[in-house]
């Protein structure tokens, strides 16, 4: 009787632990896929389904290269390395063609008793924001250089006294400098607005 009670408690504990693990797996936003050594998908959480664009039922039993693409890439070489070495490999940036289009992901692999746990996070939006920031910096640099060049040129003309005593020419040069300084001020205000919006 004591052994039966002990076994019943152990069984209840195992069931509770399985429920807890299933809840964590299903509720995490990170995509988690478990594959066997032949790269057949055994387990898929909703995060992985959302990232790949395929429903979970459609993914189970399929070959991972069918989902991630058959062309060699960082995600496949990571997986092959994990299979060969049997060691956990840190996340690496990769790209794959999801059902909804090309996605940027952070991809990691961990061996688990003859199986392999793949975790991936969709960083497509972060990469897009990064690309947009690079474009903004490039454009702003160009936009800042143009008025600065004009301010410098007209200031040098005034300092060299090219206009002589002509008040009209001086007034024109100072007017151009003021306009360009206002343009710079507007650009800086736009940058500060962007920073406030981002924060």
Does the pLDDT value for residue 31 go beyond 50?
A: yes
pLDDT of res. 75: 54
pLDDT of res. 164: 61
pLDDT of res. 77: 66
pLDDT of res. 97: 78
Does the pLDDT value for residue 107 go beyond 80?
A: yes
Mention every residue, 6+ apart, whose C-beta is less than 8 A from residue 96.
67, 68, 69, 73, 75, 102, 103, 105
pLDDT of res. 165: 62
Query: Exposed (0-12), middle (13-18) or buried (19+): which is 45, by Cβ within 10 Å?
Result: buried
pLDDT of res. 104: 87
> Mean pLDDT score of the chain, rounded to an integer?
81
Does the pLDDT value for residue 34 go beyond 50?
A: yes
pLDDT of res. 72: 45
Does the pLDDT value for residue 158 go beyond 70?
A: yes
Tokens linked to 66: 């069918």
Mean pLDDT for the stretch of residues 43-54:
88
* ∠ CA 150-155-157, rounded to 5°: 100
pLDDT, greater one: 143 or 6? 6
Mean pLDDT for the stretch of residues 27-56:
86
Strand pairing class (41-44; 31-35): antiparallel
Q: pLDDT per residue over 90-104, tens digit each?
A: 788 888 778 878 888
Q: pLDDT per residue over 123-146, tens digit each?
A: 988 888 888 888 877 787 777 888
Does the pLDDT value for residue 161 go beyond 80?
A: no
The full length of the chain comes to: 199
pTM above 0.75, yes or no: no
pLDDT, greater one: 74 or 20? 20
Q: What is the DSSP string of 91-132?
A: EEEEEEEETTEEEEEEEEEEEETTEEEEEEEE-HHHHHHHHH
In the DSSP assignment, the letter for residue 70 is S
């Amino acid at each position: 009787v004591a052994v039966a009670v002990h076994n019943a408690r152990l069984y209840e504990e195992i069931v509770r632990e399985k429920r807890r693990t299933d809840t964590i797996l299903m509720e995490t936003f990170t995509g988690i896929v478990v594959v066997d050594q032949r790269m057949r998908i055994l387990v898929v959480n909703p995060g992985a389904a959302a990232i790949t664009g395929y429903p979970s039922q459609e993914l189970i039993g399929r070959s991972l290269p069918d989902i991630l693409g058959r062309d060699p890439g960082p995600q496949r070489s990571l997986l092959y390395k994990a299979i060969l070495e049997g060691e956990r490999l840190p996340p690496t940036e990769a790209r794959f063609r999801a059902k909804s289009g090309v996605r940027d992901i952070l991809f990691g692999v961990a061996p688990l008793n003859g199986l392999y746990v793949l975790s991936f996070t969709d960083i497509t939006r972060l990469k897009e924001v990064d690309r947009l920031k690079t474009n903004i910096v490039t454009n702003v640099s160009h936009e800042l250089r143009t008025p600065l060049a004009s301010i410098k040129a007209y200031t040098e003309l005034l300092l060299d006294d090219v206009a002589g005593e002509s008040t009209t020419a001086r007034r024109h040069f100072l007017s151009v400098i003021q306009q360009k300084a206002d343009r710079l001020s507007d650009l800086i205000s736009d940058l500060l607005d962007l920073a406030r919006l981002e924060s």
